[in-house]
Chain A
Amino acid sequence: MKADATLDCIGLYCPIPIAHTAKKLEELEKGQVLEILADDEGIKEDMPAWCKTTGNELLGIEEEGEQYRLYVRKS
């Protein structure tokens, strides 16, 4: 998936990845896609919940071993 920006949250635990996501997304324009790299398993549940609450769109989660790539489109 193509992204406009990437955020590296490898090695960071909740709530830091979602806090960084919120901050990073502020820098993007509406419709742009942010790619988030993470390895805290909780992110699989947390990012959908975060998106549901904030109204941003979760385009998908890709698992690569113990790491995750998440794609969020800013609405």
Chain B
Amino acid sequence: MAERESVTLVVFSGELDKALAAFNIAIGAASMGMEVSMFFTFWGLNIIKRNEGSIRSKGVMRRMLNFINRGGSKRLHLSKFHMLGMGTWMMKRLMKDVNFPQLEELMAMAKEMGVKFIACTTSMGIMGISKEAFIPEVDSFAGVATYLAEAREGRVNLFI
């Protein structure tokens, strides 16, 4: 292959099932020799928040938001049938049952294959989330121009 083809994924949603789909595609694309960038924005930021500690932010409203919307890969809900956690727990069990990796394993795999994680600074600013809230695997913090500059070169563009 001449130049590497590229894939850009906008991960807007912060639900477990959608995150699984996003990482599934990212790993598939990386396996096919493509360069993959994942842009996490809005609720999607929850996927790349670290699971430990609390999220610090300024102001009552932002503190409240980050308390309710804590995020972290282990806290994500299914977009359907969460059922106070029972449905999500069951889905994780079903995945384990057929040896399908959990989200954290897929994320590690994607990273190992060179998939880039980019966090949207606008969403971070609005919601009052600092860089420290994210896992160290995040490669950069950027905006829409970074996404578009990569997307216009890419063959595959998805909004999840």
Please give the residue numbers on chain A whose beta carbons come within 8 Å of chain B beta carbons, in ascending order: 11-16, 18-19, 21-22, 50, 53-55
Contact = CB atoms under 8 A, between A and B. Distances in A.
Interface string B96-126: 0011110000000100010000000000000
Nearest to A17: B31
B98 A14 contact: no
6 contacts: A13-B100, A15-B24, A19-B28, A19-B31, A19-B113, A50-B32
A54 B1 CA distance: 7
Contacts of A14: 24, 28
A12 B99 contact: yes
Q: What class of interface size applies to chain B in its complex with A?
A: 10 to 19
Contact of B31 (A11, A15, A55): A15
A53 B101 contact: no
The 3 closest A-B CB pairs, nearest first, are: A15-B28, A22-B31, A19-B31
Contacts of B109: 19
B32 A54 contact: yes
